[in-house]
Structure 1
Amino acid sequence: MEEVLGYLKISVKRGINLARRDLFSSDPYAVVKMGQQSLKTRTILQNRYPEWNQDLLLSVTDPNTPVFLKVYDKDAFTGDDEMGEAVVDIKPFLEAVRTAPPEPPVGSHVMSLPPNPHNCLSKPSVIMVSGSGKITQEMKVRLRNVESGEVELKLEWVNAGGCKGFCRGRFASGFHTAARSSQLLSLHSKDGYA
């Protein structure tokens, strides 16, 4: 079984200028995938500027595994239409979490990432220490393979079993098994997170 290094909370905030897939608008929802894990937001009816404000929790077992975001238009009678996709490279974020001091000053900037041809950022993104002392990254990603659309996300690291930063080797009882990770994701799904 793979060891869980921690959890990545992805806040899917909102969509901006999403593509029209129905006569006048779209009924968008977002799907976030990482490895074998797949979670989705609720569907917002007839809105090209949806406010999802939904938190999704993924277990991280390999820091090199990217996060895939795909937006769809919900259709009642046909298959759902694709509305664009983005790849979120979480390596810089996880590196910032790994190398951050144990108690970094609140509000401090850990790292700044500019948009480039290898990421989907539509503007610079800053990894910083939030008011609660957690490492976070707010970003706006441009959707690919579509005529228009962006999605605002926020990443936040959640420690596994009380560890600080990356947990390597030793874990609190029960948090390192894939079965426990599945239970946690299942609980969040029942609470409306997926």
Structure 2
Amino acid sequence: MLSVPSSSSSLKVQVFDKDTFSADDSMGEAEVAVQPLISAASALGNTGISGTMQIGKWLATRDNALVRDSVINLVDGRVKQDVFLKLQNVESGELDLELEWVPLDQ
């Protein structure tokens, strides 16, 4: 769980393997735009809507590391987003993340 200010635009993630007898090796990095999730959650507000529906989308382009479009959903009153990213500064690799917006007052 991370506390992310609403003014944040992205989160940089560095991925390492876990070695028992030597130093951990870098497996790449990726940058996650959190603003689409923040914007969708803010626009929804505290409406008390439950159920499941799509409330936003972050499109895969040449300018970002998305493997495919990332949909932001409302699932049982929670704002969630699955993100599939290509790792950067490495020959190959992908990172799958599930983001969930949790207001600080919860």
Distance across 1 between alignment mates of 2:39 and 2:72: 10
Larger Rg: 1
Equivalent position SS for 1:148: coil
Unaligned runs of 5+ in 1: 1-56, 163-194
Percent identity of equivalent pairs: 34
Once residues 49 and 7 of structure 2 are traced to their aligned partners in structure 1, the CA distance between those partners, rounded to angstroms, is 22
Q: Which of 95, 114, 118 is 2:39 aligned to?
A: 95
Larger relative contact order, structure 1 or 2 (CA cutoff 8 Å, min sep 6): 1
Deviation at 1:65, TM superposition (A): 4.5
Counterpart Cα distance in 1 of 2:69 and 2:44: 20
Q: Return the alpha-carbon distance in structure 2 between the equivalents of residues 66 and 112 of structure 1.
A: 16
> 2:16 touches 2:27 (CA, 8 Å); kept in 1?
yes
**Cα distance in 1 for residues equivalent to 2:36 and 2:42:** 10
Counterpart of 1:126 (choices 59, 62, 71) is 71
Equivalent residues of 2:6, 2:38 under 8 A apart: no
3-state DSSP of counterpart to 2:36: helix
After superposition, residues 30-109 of structure 1 pair within 5 angstroms as 57-101=1-45, 102-109=47-54
- Structure 2 unmatched ranges of 5 or more: none
Displacement, 1:77?
Answer: 4.4
What is the TM-score normalised by the length of structure 1?
Answer: 0.49
Q: Is the 8 A contact 1:63 1:90 kept in 2?
A: no
Q: What is the aligned partner in structure 2 of residue 36 from structure 1?
A: none
**Amino acid in the other structure paired with 1:124:** D
Whether the 8 Å contact between 1:141 and 1:151 is mirrored in structure 2 is: yes
> What's the C-alpha RMSD, in Å, of the aligned pairs?
1.8
Higher strand share: 2
TM-score (norm 2): 0.86
Question: Offset of 1:118 from its aligned partner?
Answer: 2.9
Q: Number of matched residues?
A: 105
